[in-house]
Structure 1
Amino acid sequence: MGKTSTGRKFKTCSLFKRSNRKKEVVNVQPYTGEGHIEMLTRLRHEFDTRFSDFNKIEAIAQFVSYPYMPLDAESLSQTIEQHFSESRAETELEIVTLQNDLCLKSVAGNENFWCLVSKQKYPILVNVALKIIALFCSTYLCESTFSNMKFIKNKYRNRLTDEHSQIAYKLVASLILL
């Protein structure tokens, strides 16, 4: 029994008795973090190599996201020519014409802007825009489908058969596309 500062008596816990034996000294190396630094360096290199192509088409992606921002039509048409094998002169003409189209400029903030652009009037730009949008759209569909799959197959629904799971996945995927 021990005493507190107020003079009350309390029982000592017998589970955590102190030992009078000397503790063994373990030879521990100081942490340098070299293994973690090396792993993070390799990860950074992997990201840089995987996504280096996105840096090449960054100007095109920015144009597709908002075509009325100030830009150099000549350099953009050159980038489109390099990556999509389109005529540089025709592409530059379409860019300048599109940026001066007041009817389209009024709906530029619309989510479905490129669906409203005439494919007959701007065939190159619509084609390029749909290819760029397809990159991000397919990524979104994969991520949202995986999230929904995780929600469908949770710990409370662990008795779903494969057939019922597939039906639920198809239903969710069809709702995403709507």
Structure 2
Amino acid sequence: MIQLLKLLSENFEERFADFRDVKNEIRLFENPFSIDVSTAPSDLQLEPIELQCQTSMKDKFREKELPEFYGELPAENFPNLRKLGMKMITTFASTYVCEQTFSVLKRAKPGSRSYLTDDHLHSVLRISVTNFDPNIQNLVSEKQLQTSH
């Protein structure tokens, strides 16, 4: 069991090594008001100092979710912080979409469905990862019923 846990720990270290490189950026993203500015990347140090001096922005930070807060940061005053916020938000969202797409593809293409073409798979993937919710009742009501000859 100890050997298995060591192997698991090594695997985690290897997989998440990239996060160590951006640790300070992640901390800045999750709470720009509580970080030590000297640990922030050099190109971002001035903006957190200015942000931490604005109590109105601190109130907004407490009231809103992170994506909403970074979306409302004034671009003229905090261009680098906004850029960092959008980078962090899209990084994790795009990873989720990739995983979701891979799972859909695995379900759509088992051995018994090998007759699906690339066009079929493209359509299945596109429908599966979109947030579009069709109004089936409306679509059906627009169709003309087939009458017998």
Normalising by structure 2, what TM-score? 0.64
What amino acid is aligned across from residue 17 of structure 2 in structure 1? S
Moved more, 125-134 or 45-54: 45-54
Task: State how many pairs are aligned.
Answer: 133
Deviations 1:10-56 (A, max 9, x none): xxxxxxxxxxxxxxxxxxxxxxx7xx93x764453243133123134
Root-mean-square deviation (Å): 3.5
Q: 1:123 offset after TM fit, Å?
A: 0.9
Of residues 26, 33, 37, the one that matches 1:74 is 37
1:141 lines up with 2:89 in the alignment: no
Gaps of at least 5 residues in structure 2 are 134-149
CA–CA distance in structure 2, aligned partners of residues 94 and 124 of structure 1: 12
In our comparison, the structure showing a higher alpha carbon Rg is 1
1:57 lines up with 2:22 in the alignment: yes
Gaps of at least 5 residues in structure 1 are 1-32
Q: Which protein has greater RCO, CA pairs closer than 8 Å, 6+ apart?
A: 2
Distance 1:63 1:118, change over 3 A: same
Moved more, 152-161 or 125-134: 152-161
Normalising by structure 1, what TM-score? 0.55
Which structure 1 residue ranges, 4+ long, deviate > 6 Å from structure 2? none
The aligned residue for residue 124 of structure 2 is: 168
Distance 1:147 1:121, change over 3 A: same
The aligned residue for residue 29 of structure 1 is: none
Distance 1:40 1:64, change over 3 A: same
Deviations 1:79-108 (A, max 9, x none): 322xxxx153x1332331466426633642
Contact 2:67 2:89 in 1 (8 A): no
Distance 1:111 1:123, change over 3 A: closer
The aligned residue for residue 144 of structure 2 is: none
CA–CA distance in structure 2, aligned partners of residues 177 and 74 of structure 1: 42
Distance 1:58 1:108, change over 3 A: farther
Q: Secondary structure at the match of 2:41?
A: helix
Distance 1:112 1:154, change over 3 A: farther
Moved more, 136-145 or 153-162: 153-162
CA–CA distance in structure 2, aligned partners of residues 112 and 168 of structure 1: 31
CA–CA distance in structure 2, aligned partners of residues 106 and 72 of structure 1: 15
